[in-house]
Structure 1
Amino acid sequence: MQHSMQRPVNEGILILDYGSQYTLLITRRLRELGVYAEVIDGTRSAPLEDFHYHGIILSGGPDTVTEEGARTMPAWVKSSNKPVLGICYGMQLMAGVSGGKLRSGTQREYGRAQLKLELDHVPSYATSLKKLPAVQTVWMSHGDDVEGSSGIFEVLGRTEDGVVAVMAHKERPWIGLQFHPEVQHSEHGAELLKIFISDICKAPLNWDAGCMMESSLAKIRENVGNGKVLMAVSGGVDSTVAAVLLTRALGFEQVHAIFVDHGLLRKDEAKWVQNEFARLGVHLTALDRSQEFYAALKGVSDPEQKRKIIGRKFIEVFESFAKSQTGFTHLGQGTLYPDVIESAGHGSGAKVIKSHHNVGGLPEKLHLELCEPFRYLFKDEVRAIGRQLGIPEQLVDRHPFPGPGLAVRILGEIEPESVRILQEADAIFINRLREENLYHAVWQAFAVLLPVKSVGVMGDNRTYQKTCALRAVTASDGMTAGVGDLPISFLVRVSDEIVRKVNGINRVVYDVTTKPPATIEWE
Structure 2
Amino acid sequence: MRNKSVVQTETLPQSDALAQLNRQMIVILDFGSQYSELIARRIRETQVYSEVLSYRTTAEQLKQLNPKGIIFSGGPSSVYDDRAPECDPEIWHLGIPVLGVCYGMQLMVKQLGGKVLPAQKREYGKASLLIDDPTDLLTNVEDGTTMWMSHGDSCAELPEGFEVLAHTENTPCAAIANYDKKLYGVQFHPEVVHSIGGLALIRNFVYHICDCEPTWTTDAFVEEAIREIRARVGEKRVLLALSGGVDSSTLAFLLHKAIGDQLTCVFIDQGFMRKLEPERLVKLFQEQFHIPVEYVNARDRFLALVAGVTDPEEKRRRIGHEFIQVFEEASKQLGPFDYLAQGTLYPDVIESADTNVDPKTGERVAVKIKSHHNVGGLPKDLRFKLVEPLRKLFKDEVRKVGRSIGLPEEIVQRQPFPGPGLAIRIIGEITAERLDILRDADLIVRQEINRRGIYHDFWQAFAVLLPIRSVGVMGDQRTYAYPIVLRLVSSEDGMTADWSRVPYDILEAISNRIVNEVKGVNRVVLDITSKPPGTIEWE
Tell me which interval the TM-score lies in, with the shorter structure as reference length.
Answer: over 0.9
Superposed, which structure 2 residues align to 1:1-400 within 5 Å?
Answer: 6-10=16-20, 11=23, 12-45=25-58, 47=61, 51-119=65-133, 127=136, 129-209=138-218, 212-251=221-260, 253-278=261-286, 279-347=288-356, 348-359=364-375, 362-363=378-379, 367-400=383-416
- Structure 1 residues 159 and 365: CA distance shift in structure 2, 3 A: closer
Residue 434 of structure 1, aligned match among 450, 453, 467: 450
> Cα deviation per residue 1:468-490 (whole Å; 9 max; x = unaligned)?
11111011111111001211101
Asked if structure 1 preserves the Cα contact closer than 8 Å seen for 2:69 and 2:96, the reply is yes
Separation in 1, partners of 2:17, 2:133: 39
Q: 1:327 Cα deviation (Å)?
A: 4.1
Distance in 1 of aligned mates of 2:327 and 2:443: 28
For 1:397-476, list aligned pairs within 5 A: 397-476=413-492
- Deviation of 1:499 after TM superposition, in Å, equals 1.4
* TM-score, normalization by structure 2: 0.90
Residues 499, 8 of structure 1: CA spacing in aligned structure 2 closer, same or farther, 3 A cutoff?
farther
Q: CA 1:128–1:104 in 2, change beyond 3 Å: closer, same or farther?
A: closer
Write the distance in 1 (CA, Å) between the matches of 2:530 and 2:45: 24
What do the CA deviations read for 1:248-292 (whole angstroms, capped 9, x no partner)?
A: 2211x2100111111111101211121122121222111111111
Distance in 2, matches of 1:170 and 1:54, equals: 16
Counterpart residue identity of residue 269, structure 1? E
TM-superposed CA distance for 1:464, in Å, is: 1.9
Letter in 2 for 1:379: K
Question: Identity of paired residues, percent?
Answer: 46
CA distance in 2, matches of 1:511, 1:354: 20
- 1-structure distance, mates of 2:262, 2:64: 30
Deviations 1:331-351 (A, max 9, x none): 211111232344343332322
The whole-number CA distance in structure 2 between the counterparts of 1:366 and 1:26 is 32
Q: 1:57 to 1:24 in 2, by over 3 A?
A: same
Q: Which amino acid aligns with 1:517?
A: P
Q: 1:239: Cα distance to partner?
A: 1.0
Of residues 497, 514, 523, the one that matches 1:507 is 523
1:181 maps to a residue whose letter is P
**Deviation for aligned residue 1:51:** 4.3
Residue 123 of structure 1 corresponds to: none
Select between 199-208 and 127-136 the one with higher mean Cα deviation: 127-136
Q: Could you tell me which residue of structure 1 aligns to residue 9 of structure 2?
A: none
CA contact (8 A) 1:116 1:135 kept: yes
| The 10-residue stretch of structure 1 (492-501 or 367-376) with the greater mean CA deviation from structure 2 | 367-376
The one-letter amino acid of 2:75's match is G
Give me the TM-score of the superposition, normalised by structure 1: 0.93
Note the C-alpha offset of 1:319: 1.9
| 1:274/1:284 contact within 8 Å kept | yes
| Deviation digits for residues 197-256 of structure 1 (CA, Å, limit 9, x no counterpart) | 1111011212233653333323323332322111112121111110111012211x2100
Deviations 1:359-402 (A, max 9, x none): 28545655543221112211111111211222221111111111
Partner of 2:500: 484
CA–CA distance in 2 between the matches of 1:131 and 1:519? Answer: 33
Pairwise CA distance, 1:64? 0.6
Size of the aligned set, in residue pairs, is 513
CA distance in 1, matches of 2:333, 2:298: 16
> Residues 308, 132 of structure 1: CA spacing in aligned structure 2 closer, same or farther, 3 A cutoff?
closer
Structure 1, 365-374 or 97-106: larger mean CA deviation: 365-374
RMSD of Structure 2 on Structure 1 (CA): 2.1
Is the 8 Å Cα contact of residues 332 and 372 (structure 1) preserved in structure 2?
Answer: yes
Counterpart code for 1:264 = F
Does the Cα contact within 8 Å between 1:107 and 1:145 map onto a contact in 2?
A: no
Q: 2:319·2:373 contact (CA, 8 Å) conserved in 1?
A: no
Which deviates further from its counterpart, 420-429 or 51-60? Answer: 51-60
Distance in 2, Cα, partners of 1:49 & 1:288: 53
The Cα shift of 1:49 comes to 8.3
Gap regions ≥5 residues in structure 1:
121-125
Cα distance in structure 1, aligned partners of 2:196 and 2:464: 35
The alpha carbon displacement at 1:77 in A equals 2.1
What SS class does the counterpart of residue 452 from structure 1 fall into?
A: coil
Bigger drift between 513-522 and 457-466 goes to: 457-466
Letter of the structure 2 residue corresponding to residue 288 of structure 1: N
Describe the shift of the 1:113–1:310 C-alpha distance in structure 2 as closer, same or farther (beyond 3 A): same
- What are structure 2's unaligned runs of at least 5 residues? 1-14, 357-363
Q: Which amino acid aligns with 1:34?
A: Q
Rounded Cα–Cα distance in structure 1 between residues aligned with 2:108 and 2:64:
26
What's the CA shift string for 1:107-158, capped at 9, x where partnerless? 32112222222239xxxxx746455444433221111111111323122222
Amino acid at match of 2:99: L
Whether the 8 Å contact between 2:481 and 2:522 is mirrored in structure 1 is: yes
Q: Is the 8 A contact 1:57 1:85 kept in 2?
A: yes
The structural deviation recorded for 1:20 is: 1.7
